[in-house]
């Protein structure tokens, strides 16, 4: 059997720009690493994109040494972009330790990207070494696995390979072990790509990139032209970004660094640095130690996304009217409220009524914040609104408290969705699978101190069971592009 049975190469992004890639990307070379030890291989997603039959040697060749995949990019592409970082514009960034390695299609025809993190220096590395610590790679795998299980539209950690170098970092004990990560995602078109093109006053390139995005991610808009296409595309990005922010809230997730270069046009969560899962519904909970003002705190993520969308609109203002763009931006609030109801009801396994759904979300979050109840526990206990099961929880007493009465009344008045899921072994326990910072640090400590990967593997197995129990499909939201 061929190692590439079912693999469907695509080279869509490479077709943008001139022969050298300007103004969209630069062709680069991957770093040469002294060793290649596979630490994580996403076999599930590898099979979905026709790469599941690769031997371990072939896997290391393509995702550690970056030998080109058949009929794919012959050189990796470092994508050019700018961005607002903590709301300060930075024109000196781009793919500084990663690149777009390949593009392919899955069995449903969707265009997918294979991008890297820690693959070496590029023209945008500035003073960085272009590397990723092994701890950073492990953390990204844990984040994406957990988010996918909780139904968040996220990039997938595809491969993690330890690379045998000693790295020096200010925020980790050094020398630190090195790694290279490959992520699978539906797009690497960040808001900052458009910002750079606007900064360069390149209206033609903006229009070309909009056409690319519409063709591959918003095909229903292909019949539109000119300003109508740009505004419609902008509305689509707004709606998807609102949905992503709501899904983070329903998962209790704090991204940590919501700069404009860390949001993309498909509304897909990616690029995990100082992320955290909130222990409880504290709106002021932050993930990054350097976010002293709480700009990207748990409860301010929607605000951050809206601000970033406004900057994206500013880039489009070179080709579309301000009034039309501003009108589109005003749709964020309603889109976010609707997405919050959808995300929370989905996580609770209950049927939407579309009448007063958002009030339940508000009441639940307010009660969670006031009581400090464990974030994941409430969704585990009340999945499918099963009051009898909640009564068996370690938290049963608090559910009888008068303060919970209004939430309980709303929960017990709705219909469950897929109540048969409660028969899964995952729901027979008393506590849910979580990914709090102490757990992450304990997993890493075992690796760092004794090269013991058992806790890492056990956590991935627990997440897999949770994913199976909930039955969420994190990629079901992506519109299918037209197949060529």
Rounded CA separation 466/481 (Å): 30
Task: Give the pair of three-digit tokens for residue 318.
Answer: 């070179």
Cα dihedral 145/147/152/154 (nearest 10): -50
Q: Helix, strand or coil for residue 481? A: coil
Task: Give the pair of three-digit tokens for residue 291.
Answer: 């976010």
Active site residue 261: yes
Of 95, 261, 381, 386, which residue is the catalytic one? 261
Question: How would you write 295-349 as a 3-class SS string?
Answer: CCCHHHHHHHHHHHHHHHHHHHCCCCCHHHHHHHHCCHHHHHHHHHHHHHHHHHC
257 neighbors 273 (Cβ within 8 angstroms)? yes
Rounded CA separation 166/151 (Å): 36
The continuous run of DSSP H or E covering 183 comes out as: strand 176-185
Closest CA to 186 of 272, 81, 266: 266
- Kindly report the number of other CB atoms within 10 A of residue 44's CB atom: 12
Distant-in-sequence, close-in-space partners of 64: CB < 8 Å, separation ≥ 6: 33, 36, 38, 159, 161, 163, 180
How would you classify the pairing of strands 100-105 and 37-41? unpaired
Task: Give the pair of three-digit tokens for residue 156.
Answer: 């997938």
The separation between CA 97 and the C-alpha centre of its own chain, rounded to angstroms, equals 18
Rounded CA separation 319/329 (Å): 16
Rounded CA separation 53/108 (Å): 19
Residues serving a catalytic function are 261
């Amino acid at each position: 059997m061929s190692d590439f049975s079912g693999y469907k190469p695509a080279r869509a992004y490479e077709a943008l720009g001139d022969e050298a890639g300007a103004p969209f990307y630069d062709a680069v070379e991957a770093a040469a690493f002294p060793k290649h030890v596979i630490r994580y291989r996403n076999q599930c997603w590898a099979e979905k994109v026709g790469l599941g039959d690769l031997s371990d040697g072939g896997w290391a060749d393509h995702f550690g040494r970056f030998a080109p995949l058949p009929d794919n990019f012959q050189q990796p592409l470092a994508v050019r972009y700018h961005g607002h970082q903590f709301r300060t514009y930075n024109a000196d960034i781009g793919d500084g330790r990663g690149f777009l390695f390949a593009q392919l299609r899955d069995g449903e025809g969707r265009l997918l990207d294979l991008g890297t993190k820690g693959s070496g220096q590029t023209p945008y590395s500035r003073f960085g070494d272009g590397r990723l610590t092994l701890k950073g790679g492990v953390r990204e795998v844990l984040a994406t696995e957990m988010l996918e299980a909780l139904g968040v539209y996220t990039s997938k950690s595809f491969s993690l390979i330890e690379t045998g170098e000693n790295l020096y970092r200010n925020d980790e004990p050094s020398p630190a072990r090195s790694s290279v990560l490959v992520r699978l995602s539906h797009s690497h078109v960040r808001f900052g790509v458009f910002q750079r093109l606007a900064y360069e006053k390149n209206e033609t390139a903006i229009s070309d990139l909009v056409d690319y995005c519409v063709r591959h991610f918003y095909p229903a808009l292909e019949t539109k032209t000119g300003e109508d296409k740009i505004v419609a595309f902008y509305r689509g990005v707004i709606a998807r970004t609102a949905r992503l922010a709501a899904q983070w809230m329903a998962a209790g997730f704090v991204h940590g660094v919501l700069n404009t270069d860390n949001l993309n046009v498909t509304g897909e969560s990616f690029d995990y640095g100082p992320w955290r899962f909130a222990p409880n519904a504290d709106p002021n909970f932050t993930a990054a130690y350097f976010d002293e003002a709480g700009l990207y705190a748990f409860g301010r993520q929607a605000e951050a996304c809206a601000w970033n969308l406004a900057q994206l609109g500013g880039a489009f203002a070179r080709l579309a009217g301000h009034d039309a763009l501003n009108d589109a931006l005003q749709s964020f609030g309603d889109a976010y409220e609707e997405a919050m109801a959808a995300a929370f009801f989905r996580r609770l396994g209950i049927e939407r009524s579309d009448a007063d759904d958002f009030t339940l979300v508000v009441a639940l979050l307010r009660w969670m914040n006031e009581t400090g109840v464990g974030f994941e526990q409430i969704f585990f206990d009340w999945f499918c609104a099963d009051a009898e099961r909640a009564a068996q929880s370690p938290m049963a007493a608090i559910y009888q408290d008068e303060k919970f009465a209004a939430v309980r009344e709303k929960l017990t008045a709705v219909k469950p969705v897929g109540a048969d899921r409660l028969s899964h072994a995952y729901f027979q326990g008393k506590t849910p699978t979580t990914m709090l910072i102490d757990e992450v640090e304990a997993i890493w400590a075992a690796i760092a101190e004794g090269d013991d990967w058992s806790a890492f593997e056990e956590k991935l197995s627990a997440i897999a069971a949770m994913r199976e129990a909930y039955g969420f499909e994190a990629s079901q939201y992506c519109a299918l592009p037209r197949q060529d």
